[in-house]
Amino acid sequence: MSVQPDVPLSPAPSDEVRKTTCYMCACRCGINVHMKAGRVAYIEGNRDHPVNRGVLCAKGSAGILQHMSPARLRAPLKRVGPRGSGEFQEISWDEALQIATGWLAPLRETAPEKFAFFTGRDQSQSLTGWWAQAFGTPNWAAHGGFCSVNMAAAGIYTMGGSFWEFGQPDWDRTKLFLLFGVAEDHDSNPIKMGLGKLKARGARVIGINPIRSGYNAIADDWVGITPGTDGLFILSLVHELLRAGRIDLNYLIRYTNAPYLINADEGAQKGLFLRDKAGKPMVRDRRTGRAVAWDMPGIAPDLAHGVEIDGTTHLPAFRHLSERYLSPDYAPDAVAGRCGIPAARIRAIAAEIARVAFEEEITLNQPWTDFRGQRHETMVGRPVAMHAMRGISAHSNGFQTARALHLLQILIGSVETPGGFRFKPPYPKPPEAHPRPHARHTPGQPLDGPHLGYPLGPEHLLINDDNSPIRIDKAFSWDAPLSAHGLMHMVIANAHAGDPYEIDTLFLYMANMAWNSSMNTSAVMDMLTDQNADGSYRIPRIICADAYSSEMVAFADLVLPDTTYLERHDCISLLDRPICEADAMADSIRWPVVAPDRDVRPFQSVLLDLGVRLGLPGMVNEDGTARYSDYADYITNHQRRPGVGPLAGWRNADGTGQGRGTPNPDQIARYIENGGFWTCHVPAQAQFFKPWNATYQDWAVARGLQDRPQPYLFNLYLEPLRKFQLAAEGYGHRQPPDHLRARLIRAMDPLPVWYPTFTDAATDPAEYPLHALTQRPMAHYHSWGSQNAWLRQIHGTTPLYVSRDIWVQHGFTQGDWATLTSPHGQVTLPVARMDALNPHTVWTWNAIAKRRGAWALNPAAPEATQATLLNHLIHELLPPKGDGLRWGNSDPITGQAAWYDLRVRIEKAPAGQAHSHPAHPAQISPVPPAPRDIARQVKGRA
């Protein structure tokens, strides 16, 4: 036998490691970028990073191919062909910026609202919002309106924080975890790491999802719920827990408004809190039987009985609540059929929640002091955690469903207690601590305040005296009163219709609105190309800032090419969407680990440059010169409030400032030195009960998260909703249009309610018997993944998964195609069988399908020929009801796009089908053809 070959066991992985932040999705993991001979060779997770602790998802590891993508734009582009054709001419930056300034400057001076600036899932919202405010347009928002504003708003209104990426289960202590409607979520790696922890400890995971894939595949128990019915299911669990008395009364009394007395006087106060002269909500003190201010020391707030004043009984919120949910309407047997879950299973889940919450209570020997000044020797927790995302929020009943879920969590006392759900700084933060929305615009002047916020009553709506919306997306109008994130999905349709008014220039940053983020995609492409009689476009000007040759780029008149994430500075800021963990505040940066090799510029620097050219306040010095030389300069030196800037770490000239402090010229260098991020731990006694924890409140003030202590109680009963109801009932100055009254009364219930989704209510189940959903593939980020040669091999097609019943009923065999029809459109795609599926549900992957010619892909790529978007089936409006009005396909409270309300019918496509439909004409690629084969190995110096 010959000797074994000598394998080099210790090759140098690289010449140098540069630590920055991933941007293959919005999870923002820390990465080690291995460089060989100055080129990016390999990317792995950063072990020290608070978000990912060294792990990295498929997208993150494939970042190198995103960075080298053939679809990268190379220079500014000016449209030369018709819109949508993709015919462009490369121009210089000078020319590009001159064009943009030439369009925007006159608008600012005459009609700033005719400029609409909307941005996708970027992490520069604090910059873009600030910029838009300085410009003076009311029309700015980011993507939350079509994403998950129901989840964010319901969380913040109910408990001062939300799931999304702003809170997390106590992964280390939870014993029972319920996951509602999540395929992937923003906290991609942390959720996977958390699930891994639960599995390693043998904790139970229950997945509530019509589809058993991904996380739900590893759930110990799967509840294959019928879409749109989670609210009913959750309230049935509430019914069971109330019936059995398995609720945490202590918690409810101390930390929630459950004891608040509800005014029962007929009239304008009905349903509002009974308040004392100082305006403080009142509770009944069990010792005296009298109504007193909620925060009077030494009282025993009652949950059971009310007070009688002048012959009228004012009952505690909890009485209203318990009476409502104890109703037999919410009994498991009553909801089982509708939810598609056997009653026995609902009962078993309720019992398990009760058992774990109360029999497996956990106690940390950690003293703490509450805002009332009372010291507690221990922290008692109920180890039941829950998490939910778009599966419950992307429905027209999503806001109230998310509220119902928070109600369930709060009733068992598992929010901000050990083993339950925990907020991440800067949360907790009640709605009152957020701004109100602003839209008052004056030519040549900045807006009167921040665009987005949390209305507390009709007085905060952004409407004119005639009830017409002030914003182009109609956010904060009677259509969507609490649209805290704006309504990006309505912008193009409204601008095209000139409703509520016409605009001049639409500026889109990092959003593929001509494709996968639009409802009704084919029609949206028509709207973007639609012309007036004189041949001018209905939407006169479109600027698009993108890094790649996306579908949207083809519809722009001017394209500002961005750098890739390895070529620029970014700031993942506490002012925006930070990377905090429940036990630490944290923020991070990206920095140019390689220089761009194309004539591209970082978008944020371009925006600041544009701001200077427009003379926007905050961006120019007195003499009109630039205040910030580029984005890095802005990150370092901008202050939002005195001492508080984009980055919280290493403030003050000596780097001692944590959260607060003067700008430090070395700040970015310190971040780079530390691996691209900064963390600061929450003190042990402040780790739980944060909304009521005096130590936490003081710490948060010291760290600049808030400017004063702001303890608050959870809103089981949400008074602002009642104010809108009162308006709809005819009280108050601001009155909704009549056609919306009934809907507002029904939807704006101050206690969580369930109602069928608008589509379900309006659809004949015989005609459209199926629910159609999309899920995010873990290995792709929206439309970005397909330009990535590694990732596109994993998912290059969109098979429609159907249940065995449907498979058999329609006689499908392998290789068949199906046609899906909704009240609004039709698509054809390959079909596949899946048993672990709610029998009334079909689904496919989100955003894999591509328009031919986009993303530097071959026009025959499977993404264009074997894949389609369900977006073609979804309309931004509901089908006409015959009342002459068009109703939005959105949540009536927040305006959240109801993607998952979709109903369809299925047919077998004729034999021989081999191409997906609709098939749009190819766009001309503004970038050179991609290489054919790749086998890239970078040789290092070592």
Ligand X SMILES: Nc1nc2c(c(=O)[nH]1)N[C@H]1C(S)=C(S)[C@@H](COP(=O)(O)OP(=O)(O)OC[C@H]3O[C@@H](n4cnc5c(=O)[nH]c(N)nc54)[C@H](O)[C@@H]3O)O[C@H]1N2
DSSP, residue by residue, 642-705: TTB-S--TTBSTTS-BSSSS---TTHHHHHHHTTSEEEEEPPGGGSSSGGGBHHHHHHHHHTTS
From residue 77, how far is each of 87, 332, 545, 547, 754 by CA, in Å? Answer: 9, 59, 10, 12, 49
Nearer Cβ to ligand X, position 382 or 390?
390
Query: Given the DSSP bridges, would you call strands 176-180 and 204-208 parallel, antiparallel or unpaired?
Result: parallel
**Smallest distance, Å, CB 782 to Mo ion?**
8
Q: Pick the closest to residue 168 from 137, 146, 193, 135 (CA basis).
A: 193
Q: Which stretch binds Mo ion (CB under 5 A): 139-147, 399-407, 417-425, 832-840?
A: 139-147
**What does the per-residue mask of binding to ligand X show for 128-167, with x meaning CB under 6 A?**
---------------x--xxx-------------------
Tell me the C-alpha distance between 407 and 428, whole Å: 16
Residue span 182-221 as binding mask against ligand SF4, x where in contact by CB under 6 A, dash where not: ------xx--------------------------------
Which residues, at least 6 apart from 261, have a Cβ–Cβ distance to it below 8 Å? Answer: 273, 274, 281, 282, 283, 284, 291, 306, 307, 314, 315, 316, 317
818 is a contact residue toward Mo ion (CB under 5 A): no
Residue 504, CA distances (Å) to 137, 259, 438, 526, 534 in order = 12, 52, 21, 18, 16
Query: Does 875 contact ligand X by CB under 6 A?
Result: no
Beta bridge partners of 364: 379
Q: Which of ligand X, ligand SF4, Mo ion, none sits in contact with 406, Cβ below 5 to 8 A by type?
A: none
Of ligand X, other proteins, ligand SF4, none, which one does residue 28 interact with (CB within 5 to 8 Å by kind)? ligand SF4
Determine, following the binding rule CB under 6 A, whether residue 676 of this chain makes contact with ligand SF4: no
Closer of 22 and 668 to ligand SF4 (Cβ): 22
Of residues 37 through 76, those in contact with ligand SF4 by CB under 6 A are 52, 56-57, 59-60
Least distance (Å) between residue 572 CB and ligand SF4? 10
Minimum CB distance to ligand SF4 smaller for 24 or for 258: 24
Instruction: Kindly state the smallest distance separating residue 154's Cβ from ligand SF4, in Å.
Output: 25
Are the CB atoms for 301 and 286 separated by under 8 Å?
yes
Provide the minimum distance between the beta carbon of 319 and Mo ion in the complex, in angstroms, as a whole number. Answer: 38
Residue 77 pairs with which residues in a beta bridge? Answer: 90, 559
**Binding to ligand X (CB under 6 A): which residues in 285-304?**
none
Specify the stretch interacting with ligand X by CB under 6 A; choose among 264-272, 474-482, 748-756, 781-789. Answer: 781-789
Q: At a CB cut-off of 8 Å and minimum separation 6, what does 65 contact?
A: 788, 789, 790, 791
Q: Closer CB to other proteins, residue 249 or residue 672?
A: 249
Residue among 480, 428, 406 at smallest CA distance from 715: 406
Specify the DSSP class assigned to residue 873.
G
Q: Is the dihedral of CA 699, 703, 705, 707 positive or negative?
A: positive
Residue span 738-777 as binding mask against ligand X, x where in contact by CB under 6 A, dash where not: -----------------------------------xxxx-
Nearest residue (CB) to Mo ion, 347 versus 485: 485
CB-neighbour burial class of residue 385 (10 A; exposed 0-12, middle 13-18, buried 19+): buried
Nearer Cβ to ligand X (550/664): 550
Nearer to ligand SF4, 123 or 866 (CB): 123
Closest CB to other proteins among 150 and 828? 828
> In the beta sheet, which residues pair with residue 208?
180, 223
Residue 639, amino acid: Q
C-alpha angle 460-503-464 in degrees, rounded to nearest 5: 25
Nearest to 785 by CA among 187, 143, 71, 184: 71
Which does residue 182 touch among Mo ion, other proteins, ligand X, none (CB within 5 to 8 A, set by kind)? Answer: ligand X
Shortest spacing between CB 867 and other proteins, in angstroms = 9
Distance CA 124, CA 602 (A): 12
Pick 322 or 518: Cβ nearer Mo ion: 518
The entry of other proteins, ligand SF4, Mo ion, none that residue 147 binds, CB within 5 to 8 Å by partner kind = Mo ion
Which distant-in-sequence residues (6+ apart) come within 8 Å of 148 by Cβ?
Answer: 164, 389, 390, 393, 394, 896
Sort residue 181 into left (φ over 0), alpha (ψ -120 to 50) or beta: left
Q: Name which of ligand SF4, ligand X, Mo ion, none residue 56 binds, using a CB cut-off of 5 to 8 Å depending on partner kind.
A: ligand SF4
Rg (CA), the chain: 27
Residue nearest to ligand X (CB): 391
The dihedral over CA atoms of 520, 526, 529, 531, expressed in degrees to the nearest 10, equals -130
Residue 677 site contact among Mo ion, ligand SF4, ligand X, none (CB < 5 to 8 Å, cut-off depends on kind): none
Kindly state the smallest distance separating residue 564's Cβ from ligand X, in Å: 6
Among 228, 340, 453, 892, which residue sits at the site for ligand X (rule: CB under 6 A)?
A: 228
Query: What would the 3-class secondary structure string for 320-373 be?
Result: HHHHHHCCHHHCHHHHHHHHCCCHHHHHHHHHHHHHHHHHCCEEECCCEEECCC
Binding-site partner at residue 836 among other proteins, ligand SF4, ligand X, none, CB < 5 to 8 Å by type = other proteins
Stretch that binds ligand X, among 134-142, 185-193, 349-357, 686-694 (CB under 6 A): 185-193
Give the Cβ contact number of residue 698 at 10 Å. 13
Does 901 participate in binding ligand X (rule CB under 6 A)?
no
Contact status, residue 434 vs residue 123, Cβ threshold 8 Å: no
Tell which one of 25, 26, 132, 147 touches Mo ion (CB under 5 A): 147
Q: Cβ–Cβ contacts within 10 Å for residue 881, how many?
A: 11
Looking at 18, 20, 22, 404, which residue binds ligand SF4 (CB under 6 A)? 22
22 binds, among ligand SF4, other proteins, ligand X, none (CB under 5 to 8 A by kind): ligand SF4
Interaction between residue 566 and ligand SF4 (CB under 6 A): no
Contact residues for ligand X, defined by CB under 6 A = 25, 120-121, 143, 146-148, 180-186, 188, 208-211, 225, 227-228, 230, 389-392, 395, 509-512, 516-517, 545-548, 550, 552, 562, 564-565, 603, 773-776, 778, 780-784, 846-847, 870-871, 899-900
Contact residues for ligand SF4, defined by CB under 6 A = 22, 24-25, 27-29, 52, 56-57, 59-60, 188-189
